[in-house]
Amino acid sequence: MPIFGCATDTLYFCQGVQVYVIKTFSNCSFCHIDHDLFSKAAANCNPKPFISGHCNGRPNLTFDHQKSRTKMMRKTIAAINMTLDGICDHHVGIVDQALHQHYSELLNNAGLILYGRKTFQLMQFWQTLLTNPSDEKTMNDFANSINKIEKIVFSNTLKNTGWDTAKIADKPPENIILDLKKQSGQDILIGSRSLIIQLLNSNLIDEFQICIHPMVEGKGLRLFDQIKDRISFKLNRTKSFDSGVIILYYEPTKVKLANR
């Protein structure tokens, strides 16, 4: 049974796991909940509760499981590595145990990942570790995580992926993202530079997780190449590593500014 508290600045919990923080506000003698925020908190609960009234100051709320409720839409997350000078190259960066662990956890908590052909073929290296494990545990963990997650590959030349958990896309990226967002499930990861650019130009990226490596490469493909318009972002949080690598979690504001 999901447990929800009732007080100002209440932490809401679902089966013992914190899922959202909601501020309540007083109205006469009753304590009311912001229904939109509540729906986000309740989205991960099973069964999913819906608030049907006030709580009269008691610690638990009354739920009506039959009423319609706002559905939490899965996010499209662009997660990719980049150097200080904006170069996006899977062969460049400071990759250590901590970073492998981070990306393993990211994959384990996502529903699927989208790749272009070139990046997908680079990722196929990890298939070799399934039969010939590394001496490094975090590399093996990442290999298992990338193997388990569903992968959709965009290619005009590949006929077969050679990977049981990967399939060739049958629609353009924009159409697939829009279809996936109508379905329930875990978040959608975008792992290729070309797809990130395409979906960013279509306003279909909900969050950036940009992993910045403390080095200047000087040559190579830049992550934000061929962007149609200037786009502003909101920094939600950061995560730093002992190696000097830092991950910036950005949310596009969806407000495009005219080029000056």
Task: Return per-residue pLDDT of the chain as tens, 260 residues.
Answer: 333 333 333 333 343 333 333 333 333 233 334 444 444 445 555 444 433 333 333 334 333 333 333 346 799 999 999 999 999 877 778 889 999 999 999 999 999 999 999 999 999 999 999 999 999 999 999 999 999 999 999 999 999 999 999 999 999 999 999 999 999 899 999 999 999 999 999 999 999 999 999 999 988 888 888 888 888 999 999 999 999 999 999 998 865 444 44
CA torsion angle for 172, 91, 108, 100 (degrees, to 10)?
Answer: -170
Query: How high is the pLDDT of residue 61?
Result: 39
Q: What is the pLDDT of residue 47?
A: 44
Q: What is the pLDDT of residue 230?
A: 86
- The enclosing H or E element of 107 equals helix 97-108
59 cis-preceded (ω within 30 degrees of 0): no
Give the model's pLDDT for residue 43. 52
Instruction: Give 11's strand partners.
Output: 21
Burial class (CB in 10 A: 0-12, 13-18, 19+), 63: buried
For the beta carbon of residue 42, count every other beta carbon within 10 angstroms. Answer: 24
DSSP letter for 226, please: S
Structure tokens at 101: 């662990």
Helix (H) or strand (E) holding 120: helix 117-123
User: Per residue in 85-105, pLDDT tens?
Assistant: 999 877 778 889 999 999 999
Q: For residue 171, what pLDDT is reported?
A: 95
Task: Look up the pTM and report it.
Answer: 0.70
Q: Return the pLDDT at 225.
A: 83
